[in-house]
Each structure stands twice: as C-alpha cells, then as structure tokens.
Amino acid sequence: MARQGIVVTPLLLLLFIVRRYIKDWLERKQPPFGAVSSSVLLMIIYTTFCDTFSNPSIDLDKFSLLLVLFIICSIQLSFMLLTFIYSTRNNSGFTPADTVAVMFCSTHKSLTLGIPMLKIVFAGHEYLSLISVPLLIYHPVQILLGSVLVPTIKSWMVSRQKGVKLMRPTV
C-alpha cells in the first residue's frame, strides 16, 4: 500500500500544479480530447482484434463462436432485464429516465478496461487470444443491443413520464 502512495502522490501533485498553470490555456484552445480518446479506443480495439484473430494457435470453430455469441447476448439481455425490473419497482425511487440510465450504464463495459486487464492478468499465456474473444464479442453486442432497444425503451420512458405528469397534483 505504501508503494502506491509513492507513485500516486507525485502524480496528483503534478496534476494540481499543471492544472493551475494551463487551465486558462486549455479553456482557450479547447484541444480535441474527445477525438483523441475515440482514436485511442479504436486503436485498442483494432490491435486486439488483429492480435486475436491473426494468432495461428487460436482454435475457434464457427459453432463455438456462435455459442459464445448466444451466451453473451443472453447474459446481456438478462442483466438489462434484471436492472429494468429492479429499477421500476414502486419502492425503488427511480424516475423513468433514471431507469433507462441504470439499465444501460450498469450493464455496459468497455474494451478499454477489459483488454489491458486481460493482458496484465494473463501475460505470457499462450491462449490470451482465445481468452479475449468473449470480451471482443461483448462490446459490439452491447452496442448493437442498445441501438435495437432504444426505440422501445424511449417510447416506454416517454409514456411513463407522461403518466407521471398526469398523476401529479397541481398546486
């Protein structure tokens, strides 16, 4: 624990010092941090896909790949359904907009966190490419499921919000 403090403390001090002096410059110039972040994410995904599927030792047949895809879709839908059910209960205290946020934010994970963790935990493992396949499938599946479910969830949220507004007493 002490070693972490040795590393983190100077970084935090540097961050506070640098922020103080370049804050105004950053506000004036507005560097394209969003574009840089998206580019880095795209490169991480691209290199991971290349590393995984160009590996000659990966022995993944089409049936196994489809089975993994089915399992991941089932898990993703189950998690989304569970969060929807729990957040729409009467005593949950969530508004319809909160329910949508909970449903999407609690089930979505990113390759930017998963791939570096896999590379650290399984460093040097000969089946690292095979181990990363479910994560490589999970990320696009969550995006596709989200885009498919958005119209339905949006109409549910709008109708629910109208119902809530109609039921509120006016003062």
Residue 86 has pLDDT above 80, yes or no: yes
DSSP 8-state assignment for residue 54 = T
Q: Does 150 or 1 have the greater pLDDT score?
A: 150
Return the pLDDT at 41.
Answer: 77
Q: Report the half-sphere exposure of 89 (CA within 13 A, side-chain side).
A: 8
What are φ and ψ of residue 33, in 5° steps? -60, -35
Return the pLDDT at 169.
Answer: 53
Q: Does 75 or 168 have the greater pLDDT score?
A: 75
Residues 144, 162: Cα–Cα separation, whole Å: 28
Of the pLDDT bands very low, low, confident and very high (cuts 50, 70, 90), residue 155 is: very high
pLDDT one-digit tens code per residue, 103-154? 888 877 777 788 888 888 988 888 888 888 888 888 888 888 888 999 999 9
Residues 131, 127: Cα–Cα separation, whole Å: 6
Asked if 103 contacts 87 with a C-beta cutoff of 8 angstroms, the reply is yes
Q: Is the dihedral of CA 111, 99, 146, 33 positive or negative?
A: negative
Cα 24 to the center of its chain, rounded Å: 31
pLDDT one-digit tens code per residue, 28-82? 888 888 888 888 878 877 887 787 778 777 777 889 889 999 999 999 999 999 9
Return the pLDDT at 67.
Answer: 93
